[in-house]
Chain A
Amino acid sequence: MLPTPDTSHVSFNTIYEPAEDSFLLLDSLSSPSEAEWLHQRFSNHSPLAIEVGTGSGVVIGFLSANAEYIFGKPITSLGIDVNTNACKATRETARKAIKEQNSSSDYLASACGDLCSAIKPQSVDVLVFNPPYVPTEELPALPNIEQNYRDEFEKDSHLLSLSYAGGLDGMETTYRLLQQIPDVLSGIGVAYVLLCAQNKPEQVKTAVGGLPNGPWLVETIGRSGKKAGWEKLQIIRIWREPN
């Protein structure tokens, strides 16, 4: 089993602590069947992997540090989060994990941003998103450069809420990300998105099929919490067949 990156340096006041959803992403992306698929997909090409909403950095750190196993070669990687604390934490998580695994991968930078809005079109080979997927009455507003908070508590609560609160069906942010996929993914690009049962996964998959510049394929490649528990999770893979 591949080691989980160390996140002991991360303060979880404003950052999502690695949980069942994070670990499902690690397990699903490094499963023998998925690794085989990725090896084949990127046999001639060293992929650029981007994680949106990195939080602690456990996922992108894992993918970078274990790239030789998962992709068959080292990768370059980037992390995006709306929370600058998460950006810095992720950079450190990735640095430590890559060193620990003696990987040749390179974590280029963390950037603070709204999803893929600042990412160059057609440049992403592997996109990973563990969204704020919990259904909530309201979707918290994004922070912005001019943001002022009354106190630290208000700031921490706001940033933490952005890591889980997903608005209607828990899907408001995820749908915005899905709409960016045709623009940011490269021709051989692939996206992994985590969904919970309340996100209405079958409806989401149909919507993915209808994205422009397709045909888009979508498949569930990992599941957890099948028996009890209200939070049933799955990972979907979104891709196109290369020409």
Chain B
Amino acid sequence: MKLLTTSFLTCAVKTCRSSPASFPLHFRDASLEKISIPFNSTFLLNILPRIDWTALQTTAAELGLSAMLPSENPQDALLAAQEAGEGGMDIAEDESKGTGIDEEVLKKLWTLLMETGVVEGKLVCGNCGFEYPVKEGVGNFLLPPHLV
């Protein structure tokens, strides 16, 4: 399960869905693997707008990977620069012309989001405390009968 997956998951207990505490789910006892995927800045920049940065910071901290993450979404800085008329650069712009974002920052983010997998561990709901097991990289979100 790649780390980016946590951006799209929440607690399966119905009454938790409306609670802000159910997102993101919290890693516990996680063991990680590194997967190699060729860096693709255009693709990464397309994904960044959909990421809740505060949630991602929480997840990275839980895995001891905070150093991989800038304090704010590079996408926000890029948009701000565009609005100020400094860049006017399309995010699908040719890579060689650059994106206005430090490539080292993007490469670290790529490693964090796309190349870091969680193999074993638990994902815990911050609202109800239910622990979802992750085994062989597959999270199990099926609930026991009393919680359905």
Interface residues of A (CB under 8 A from B): 45-46, 48, 50, 73-74, 76, 78, 82, 84, 87-88, 91, 104, 106, 108-114, 117-121, 123-124, 142-146, 183
Q: Are A109 and B10 in contact (CB under 8 A)?
A: no
Q: Are A106 and B2 in contact (CB under 8 A)?
A: yes
Q: Are B144 and A144 in contact (CB under 8 A)?
A: yes
Assembled-state Cα–Cα distance A241/B131 (Å): 38
Q: Are A118 and B9 in contact (CB under 8 A)?
A: yes
Assembled-state Cα–Cα distance A88/B119 (Å): 12
Q: Are A46 and B138 in contact (CB under 8 A)?
A: no
Report A-chain residues with C-beta under 8 Å of the C-beta of B148.
114, 142, 144
Q: Are B12 and A118 in contact (CB under 8 A)?
A: yes
Q: Can you sample 12 A-B contacts with CB below 8 Å? A: A108-B4, A109-B138, A111-B5, A112-B138, A114-B142, A119-B8, A120-B8, A120-B23, A142-B142, A145-B133, A145-B142, A145-B144
Q: Are A91 and B137 in contact (CB under 8 A)?
A: yes
Report B-chain residues with C-beta under 8 Å of the C-beta of A78.
5, 8
User: Whose C-beta in chain A lies nearest to the C-beta of B24?
Assistant: A120
How many interface residues does chain B have, given as a range? Answer: 20 to 34
Report B-chain residues with C-beta under 8 Å of the C-beta of A84.
135, 138, 140
CB distance from A120 to the nearest CB of B (A): 5
Report B-chain residues with C-beta under 8 Å of the C-beta of A124.
8
Q: Are B141 and A117 in contact (CB under 8 A)?
A: yes
Selected interface stretch from B42-50, B56-64, B70-78: B42-50
Assembled-state Cα–Cα distance A74/B37 (Å): 14
Q: A117-B141, A120-B23, A144-B143 are in contact. Are A111 and B1 (CB under 8 A)?
A: yes
Report A-chain residues with C-beta under 8 Å of the C-beta of B1.
108-109, 111
Q: Are A144 and B142 in contact (CB under 8 A)?
A: yes
Report A-chain residues with C-beta under 8 Å of the C-beta of B143.
114, 117, 144-145
CB distance from B74 to the nearest CB of A (A): 16
Confirm or deny: B34 has a beta carbon within 8 angstroms of a beta carbon on chain A.
no
Report A-chain residues with C-beta under 8 Å of the C-beta of B8.
48, 50, 78, 108, 119-120, 123-124
Assembled-state Cα–Cα distance A60/B47 (Å): 19
Q: Are A106 and B114 in contact (CB under 8 A)?
A: yes
- Tell me which of A50, A109, A123 has the highest count of chain B C-beta atoms within 10 A of its own C-beta: A109
Render B104-148 as a binary contact track against A, CB cut-off 8 A, 1 for contact: 000000000010000000000000000011011111111111001
Q: Are B145 and A144 in contact (CB under 8 A)?
A: yes
Assembled-state Cα–Cα distance A82/B142 (Å): 7
